[in-house]
Amino acid sequence: MAKKKISRRNFLATGPAVAAGSAISARGLTQESEAVHGTPPSGISLRVQSLISVLTKKGLLDPKAVDALIEYYETKIGPHTGAQVVARAWVDPAFKTRLLENASSTITELGLTGIGNSRADLVAVANSAQVQNMVVCTLCSCYPWALLGLPPSWYKDFAFRSRAVIEPRAVLEEFGMTLEEDVEVHVWDSTADLRYLVIPERPEGTEGMTEEELAALVTRDSMVGVEKLQPYRPEGEV
Ligand code: FE
């Protein structure tokens, strides 16, 4: 008997039946359809659920591993991790020197095992009064996820990816950063093998702060290099 050809349309149409008949337990992927009970899941969600179903049936995927991965990205990673690295660099000049020489190995001193599942190397670049570093991925959206969390939508935007290397000062201006003429702008193009972390300048008014307090001041955008941290003013002080 001739095998029935399954078109892309048929595959998507049969997706719900395949998914419903399987033992999918990938929490994050089923949450969406549970949350909107009665509403068909999105096309992407259907494809993912169907893929999990097929790979699980073939013994190529353990749904528990998918759950663990989703939990990792939902709760463990984020800019707070990169902020710890920056705060340590601010209070410990020797750490900063090591970080600038070899960031991949130096962040392990903080218990960080690397930049997630990626095997990419990490490079740290430091801002100063004379240098402003900015990170982009002109090809797609390579980003140090484990240190900064998921990339913001503008980082993946074609306009940002192209303009960041053509007219970086204009782009930074649009982010609210006006640079003096004598400040050099260094734009770093991320790749699958290389990810960058910007060490912003330590803000004025933070002398005497603990490392933890300092980490709370570090923003995601400052570690991508599109934001300058403002001088610290205690609450209530004008
Ligand atoms: Fe990329």
The answer to whether residues 106 and 98 touch, using CB atoms and an 8 Å cutoff, is: yes
Q: What's the 135 CA to ligand 1 centre distance in angstroms?
A: 11
The rounded distance, in Å, linking the Cα atoms of 79 and 215 is 10
Q: What's the 104 CA to ligand 1 centre distance in angstroms?
A: 18
Average of pLDDT values for 156-163?
97
What pLDDT sits at residue 48? Answer: 85
The rounded distance, in Å, linking the Cα atoms of 102 and 100 is 6
- To the nearest whole number, what is the mean pLDDT of the chain? 84
Q: What's the 156 CA to ligand 1 centre distance in angstroms?
A: 9
Of these residues, 42, 105, 128, 140, which one is catalytic?
A: 140
Q: How far, CA to CA in Å, does 112 sit from each of 24, 82, 84, 164?
A: 31, 10, 10, 29
Catalytic residue list contains 140: yes
List pLDDT tens digits, range 88-118.
999 999 999 999 999 999 999 998 876 555 5
Catalytic residue list contains 137: yes
List pLDDT tens digits, range 193-235.
999 999 999 999 999 999 999 999 999 999 999 999 999 988 7
Question: What is the band of 154 on the pLDDT scale with cuts at 50, 70, 90?
Answer: very high
**How crowded is the C-beta side of 196, counted as CA atoms within 13 Å?**
23
Of these residues, 141, 153, 162, 190, which one is catalytic?
A: 141
Q: What's the 22 CA to ligand 1 centre distance in angstroms?
A: 34
170 conformational bin, left if phi > 0, alpha if psi -120 to 50, beta if neither? alpha
Q: What's the 9 CA to ligand 1 centre distance in angstroms?
A: 30
What domains are defined for the chain? 8-74 (no CATH), 78-224 (3.90.330.10)
List the one residue out of 220, 203, 210 whose CA is nearest residue 152: 220
Q: What's the 137 CA to ligand 1 centre distance in angstroms?
A: 5
Question: What is the band of 82 on the pLDDT scale with cuts at 50, 70, 90?
Answer: very high
Q: What's the 142 CA to ligand 1 centre distance in angstroms?
A: 3
Of these residues, 33, 50, 53, 137, which one is catalytic?
A: 137
Q: Which residues, 6+ apart, have CB-to-CB distance to 116 below 8 Å? A: 77, 144, 145, 146
Q: What's the 72 CA to ligand 1 centre distance in angstroms?
A: 21
Of these residues, 50, 53, 142, 222, which one is catalytic?
A: 142
DSSP 238: -
List the one residue out of 70, 77, 72, 76 whose CA is nearest residue 31: 70
What pLDDT sits at residue 40? Answer: 67
